[in-house]
Amino acid sequence: MDIENMRAFITVAEHKSISLAAKELLQLQSNMTAKIKKIESEFNTELFYRKPRGMELNEKGKKLYAQFKKIVLLWEETRSLMSEESLSLKLGLMVSKNPANFDDTMEVLYEKYENLMVSIKTGSTPKIEEELVNGMIDIGFLVGKTDVKSLHYKKYGTEKLVLIGKSLDKPLDEILKNDNLIISSENCYYKKIFDLLLEDRQVIRSDFVQIAALESMIKMCQLGMGVTLIPESDTAALGVRNYKVIDHSYCEIEKFICYRKNHKITGIEQQLMNMIVDVSGRGDTFDSIPE
């Protein structure tokens, strides 16, 4: 069984669409269809429910998906061990949000590869995208995106933003009008969310308070000096008990793994991305671009 056929199967399963999978892997739709048919022929069974608006794994397909995921990950580990690729990672992370289980993932990789070299830059979404375009980093983990043409984005999860502060029992309109709105910088993605909420509520504000250090920002909000937005999944780790859920689509944001379209993914990068996606709760495998 060809590894690339396995990747094709995994991608179709994730997107529930042959056309979207073909676009993801930069292949013709007819080639993707042929690969799926070849796999089904190999196992002498259908692996998808065909629907007018897409495809969905059946029970046998789900079993095969889980096995293919393990095989592809093992192949990437083998590629790293046997190749002469540089065991290095140049990563970009958000100032206020790391991928779930990032530290544990790095610990596993360090134990597996003694010579692993890692450099990490932090910043806002636009800053990380800029670093990627300029070749300063190779893989970025983003909250939101600005759709830079030379970059490839892969969604790997979602986050729900909540408002934190001291007096949150007031209506949202009153908070947006009167409280200090705290952000990390003018370019941070959460500032964009504040702008959208202000526009939606027809509130005109430009007097944002900038506090770069996350710990200081949280402390100021808890003391009642203003409000800010953070992912709900981070509240417990940051010691935040009092927060306000905002029932608005603007506060449902997507997380992306990002890299240059002309960047050849290495085996070690592939392993990192697969492990990050696994712990995000989706259980997907991040498929590499064709070699």
pLDDT of res. 287: 44
Structure confidence at residue 284 (pLDDT): 44
How is domain 160-252 classified at the CATH fold level? D-Maltodextrin-Binding Protein; domain 2 (3.40.190)
In the predicted model, what is the mean pLDDT of the chain? 88
Three-state secondary structure string covering the chain? CCHHHHHHHHHHHHHCCHHHHHHHCCCCHHHHHHHHHHHHHHHCCCCEEEECCEEEECHHHHHHHHHHHHHHHHHHHHHHHHCCCCCEEEEEEECCCCCCCHHHHHHHHHHHCCCCEEEEEEECHHHHHHHHHCCCCCEEEEECCCCCCCEEEEEEEEEEEEEECCCCCCCHHHHHHHCCEEECCCCCHHHHHHHHHHHHCCCCCCCCEECCCHHHHHHHHHCCCCEEEEEHHHCCCCCCCCEEECCCHHHEEEEEEEEECCCCCCHHHHHHHHHHHHHCCCCCCCCCCCC
Q: Report the pLDDT value the prediction gives residue 210, as an integer from 0 to 100.
A: 94
Instruction: State the fold for domain 3-82.
Output: Arc Repressor Mutant, subunit A (1.10.10)
Task: For the chain, give every residue range classified as CATH 3.40.190.10.
Answer: 160-252
Q: How confident is the model at residue 5 (pLDDT cuts 50, 70, 90)?
A: very high
- State the average pLDDT over residues 193-207: 93
Q: What is the pLDDT of residues 45-99, one digit of tens each?
A: 999 999 888 899 999 999 999 999 889 888 877 877 776 666 899 999 987 677 8
**pLDDT above 80 (res 291):** no
| pLDDT value of residue 282 | 43
Per-residue pLDDT, averaged over 208-228, amounts to: 92
Share of the chain above pLDDT 70, in %: 93
pLDDT digits 0-9 by tens, 108-154: 999 988 889 999 998 888 899 999 999 999 999 998 888 899 999 98
pLDDT at residue 155, as a whole number: 87
List the single range of 30-39, 74-83, 160-169 with lowest mean pLDDT: 74-83
pLDDT in the model for residue 84: 61
Q: What is the pLDDT of residues 225-280, one digit of tens each?
A: 999 999 998 888 888 989 999 989 999 989 999 999 889 888 889 889 988 887 55
* The pLDDT of residue 101 is above 80: yes
What are the start and end residues of each CATH 1.10.10.10 domain in the chain?
Answer: 3-82
